[in-house]
Structure 1
């Protein structure tokens, strides 16, 4: 594969630094100078790639999403059955590694600011709509193979995604009653007891 250009590498470096600043300080406290210092570039270099702080933040959210998908590409492209893939999706989203925790903090900032920003609201709708469609496709595939329960695949996907999101926020908030382990157990129980197709009971005449 051809080596990425220096400009592409520098842009990616700036976006990764932006995500880190957002995760550590919050979107409202995002400063170009902090991003530049963390990325090892000048403030002018950041402005060369992004005209405004809003442009930088939006690009960072998009980059966070793309990197999140890339980390899960192996399971999205897996030949494993859909039930296994849904369990793997749950495992991959439990806030347990520094990388996953940072990504969750970035998403929480997007959600917190979206109600006050039409631009971020549209971005959230686009990115999250894409993710829900991906999960719904896994559900639909499992239904076609007789592995998952009947029902609207988008509704079932929304149920799982909503559960993962809500519980992850509680884990990030430091809940003592809802640890990462309990989040995982709860979401896996949902997959196994609600989404998985139950064997048909034999009818004895």
Structure 2
């Protein structure tokens, strides 16, 4: 029995270290990250961290993969059950931006995405998230067009790509504490673009602000 349980225990320990490394990245950034920082967050010795992750780079890859999955599936859950295409677009616009400058998951992703400039594995993960988010928008846009709820001013792929790029750009300003771009302002501007690109009535800025996620992503597993 103990031999059968060991792989599960190792997997659980790795998950704990991924979570601890994520917290350490939020606190210190990727460049300043050390094994002892992860150990402190996990409440274990640095030697035990190195036992599971002899190469800190491998741990960073696992953190990035986990963060990408969390972010994407949180967005997918937000559109599930929404009955109409304008409503799904509002949900997407409300869920693709940081909730504020202290949004831990978004902070992790921006830190790790910046790491992509020097590492092809991280670049591939960044590209994967972008492609998955674009595909989610494309799905909503094409469904809305087929249902006669949306009239697209450009191909669905172009509208979706612009929407995700705007989210990423505004999100960077939000986490960087640019006082000219707060979450509500960014959502209003993103919604304005989507309304023009789809011909849909997507509601007022106040309505959009109220449609933002109710459960912060940094609190999800």
Q: What corresponds to 1:169 in structure 2?
A: 172
- Confirm or deny: 8 A CA contact 1:18 1:60 kept in the other structure: yes
- For 1:130, the equivalent position in structure 2 comes to 132
Aligned ranges 1:189-204 → 2 under 5 Å: 189-197=192-200
Match of 1:7 in 2: 10
Query: What is the distance in 1 between the residues matched to 2:141 and 2:9?
Result: 40
Measure, in 1, the Cα distance between the counterparts of 2:87 and 2:51.
45
Q: Is the 8 A contact 2:20 2:41 kept in 1?
A: yes
State the distance in 1 between where 2:9 and 2:145 align.
46
Distance across 2 between alignment mates of 1:149 and 1:6: 52
Deviations 1:93-126 (A, max 9, x none): 332268x711221122123222222222222222
Aligned length: 194
Q: How far 1:36 moved relative to its partner?
A: 1.5
Q: Indicate if the aligned counterparts of 2:100 and 2:175 stay in contact, CA closer than 8 A.
A: no
Structure 2 residue aligned with 1:66:
69
1:14-37 superposed Cα distances (whole Å, 9 cap, x missing partner): 111111211221111111111111
CA contact (8 A) 1:146 1:197 kept: no
Q: How far apart are the structure 2 equivalents of 1:89 and 1:6?
A: 37
Q: Which residue of 1 aligns with 2:35?
A: 32
In the alignment, which residue of structure 1 is the partner of 2:181? Answer: 178
Rounded Cα–Cα distance in structure 2 between residues aligned with 1:51 and 1:196 = 53
Take 2:129 and 2:53, find their aligned partners in 1: how far apart are those partners?
20
Asked if 1:116 corresponds to 2:118, the answer is yes
CA–CA distance in 2 between the matches of 1:183 and 1:97? 11
- 2:162 corresponds in structure 1 to 159
Structure 1: which 4+ aligned runs deviate by more than 6 Å?
none
Q: Deviations over 1:52-77 (max 9, x none)?
A: 11111011011111122333343243
Partner of 1:202: none
Distance verdict in 2 for CA 1:45–1:131, change over 3 Å: farther
What is the TM-score when the length of structure 1 is the normalising length?
Answer: 0.83
> Whose RCO is larger (CA < 8 A, sep 6+)?
2
List alignment gaps of at least 5 residues for structure 2. Answer: 1-7, 202-221
